[in-house]
């Protein structure tokens, strides 16, 4: 059974596990060699309840967004699309231009969640957020989020928004990368800002070495897999969403199986022993 969670304070619920797309359509450059497979994969994910897709204007130099747009043809209303504007485009006019270009590539008239990909200290956050609020008012984006923002940067971003709330912060979080637990996670819980955990499988590192052995032991107990344990661990926190990436259909079904796993205190202690 799919778990839906409220995004920020929006009253809108989206799946706790969405699909990451960095690498579908290329990394820093466009790669069209696996377009057919990538489109099928994204559509398969949407049809099986992973209808929250994370992409960015920089992924595959725009090609990831094009693949998402192609994959969700005829399904737009069923999909929650999160994309990102790059820090080099944080000037007011550039934000508007980037958004229009993303809309074109995604073949849609609106983006559900528009995120600032990284902080850019050389552009005043007021200017960037003014453009984000204009886009929201104009109906081109529904919600405003950030990514890779510290507590201080998150507070500043919230402060300069006048009519809209900041709904999410997308940051690295996994059984191996727990830096956000020091400060940011607690702040987001208090402020009701959703945390979207990126690289939730530690870019594949959880499948290797000691981590893999420890997670396999827990997985065996739950009749589950290593990936499912890692994702279940993340989404047990009510404010955390996870966006694993895969290029394989069978792994989409594996990700969805994570919803069934309830980790106990012994499992959590074992996972704590990894860091
Ligand atoms: N905001 C940011 O700055 C930022 C930064 C990084 C990532 N992100 C977002 O977060 C998403 C996910 O992060 P990520 O792509 O860095 O890493 P990830 O989801 O932690 O790991 C993806 C890697 O794990 C492999 N994998 C997936 N399931 C597996 C399984 N069951 N067994 C073995 N290997 C498996 C994938 O290979 P296959 O493809 O072969 O399955 C892929 O190489 C990105 O796609 C992107 O949307 C955002």
**Residues forming the active site:** 59
- Both tokens of residue 128? 């960037």
Q: Could you give the C-alpha distances from 162 to 83, 86, 153, 169, 179, in angstroms and in order? A: 22, 22, 16, 18, 30
pLDDT at res. 69: 98
Model pLDDT, residue 92: 98
Q: Tell me: the pLDDT tens digits for 159-190?
A: 999 999 999 999 999 999 999 999 999 999 99
pLDDT tens, the chain, 275 aa long: 999 999 999 999 999 999 999 999 999 999 999 999 999 999 999 999 999 999 999 999 999 999 999 999 999 999 999 999 999 999 999 999 999 999 999 999 999 999 999 999 999 999 999 999 999 999 999 999 999 999 999 999 999 999 999 999 999 999 999 999 999 999 999 999 999 999 999 999 999 999 999 999 999 999 999 999 999 999 999 999 999 999 999 999 999 999 999 999 999 999 999 99
Asked whether 2 and 35 are in contact (CB, 8 A), the reply is no
Does residue 137's CB lie within 6 angstroms of at least one atom of ligand 1? no
Work out whether strand 141-147 and strand 166-172 pair parallel, antiparallel, or are unpaired. Answer: parallel
Residue nearest atom 11 of ligand 1, based on CA coordinates: 20
What's the pLDDT at 275?
A: 94
CA 20 / ligand 1 centre spacing (Å):
6
Expressed in angstroms and rounded, the spacing between residue 229 Cα and the centre of ligand 1 is: 15
CB 204 less than 6 A from any atom of ligand 1: yes
Domain 4-205+227-263: CATH superfamily, name plus number: NADP-dependent oxidoreductase domain (3.20.20.100)
Cβ 194 under 6 angstroms from ligand 1: no
Express each pLDDT in 113-157 by its tens digit: 999 999 999 999 999 999 999 999 999 999 999 999 999 999 999
Domain residue ranges of the chain, discontinuous segments joined by +: 4-205+227-263
Give the separation between CA 146 and CA 26, rounded to whole angstroms. 23
DSSP state of 232: H
């Amino acid at each position: 059974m799919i778990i839906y969670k409220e995004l920020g304070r929006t009253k809108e619920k989206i799946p706790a596990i969405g699909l990451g797309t960095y690498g579908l359509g290329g990394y820093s450059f466009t790669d069209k060699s696996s377009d057919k497979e990538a489109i099928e994969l994204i559509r398969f994910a949407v049809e099986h309840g992973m209808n929250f897709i994370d992409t960015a204007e920089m992924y595959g130099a725009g090609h990831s967004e094009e693949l998402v747009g192609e994959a969700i043809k005829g399904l737009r209303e069923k999909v929650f699309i999160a994309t990102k504007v790059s820090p080099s485009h944080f000037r007011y006019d550039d934000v508007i231009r980037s958004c229009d270009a993303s809309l074109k590539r995604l073949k849609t008239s609106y983006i559900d969640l528009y995120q600032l990909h990284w902080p850019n200290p050389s552009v005043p956050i007021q200017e960037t957020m003014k453009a984000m609020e204009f886009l929201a008012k104009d109906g081109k984006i529904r919600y405003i989020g950030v990514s890779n923002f510290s507590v201080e940067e998150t507070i500043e971003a919230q402060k300069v928004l006048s009519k809209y709330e900041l709904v999410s912060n997308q940051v690295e979080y996994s059984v191996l990368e727990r830096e956000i637990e020091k400060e940011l996670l607690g702040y987001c819980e208090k402020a009701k800002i959703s945390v979207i955990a990126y690289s939730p499988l530690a870019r594949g590192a959880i499948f290797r070495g000691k981590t893999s052995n420890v997670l396999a032991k827990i997985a065996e107990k739950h009749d589950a897999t290593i990936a499912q344990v890692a994702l279940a661990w993340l989404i047990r926190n009510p404010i955390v969403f996870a966006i694993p990436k895969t290029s394989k259909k069978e792994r989409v079904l594996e990700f969805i199986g994570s919803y069934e796993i309830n980790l106990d205190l012994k499992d959590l202690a074992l996972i704590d022993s990894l860091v």
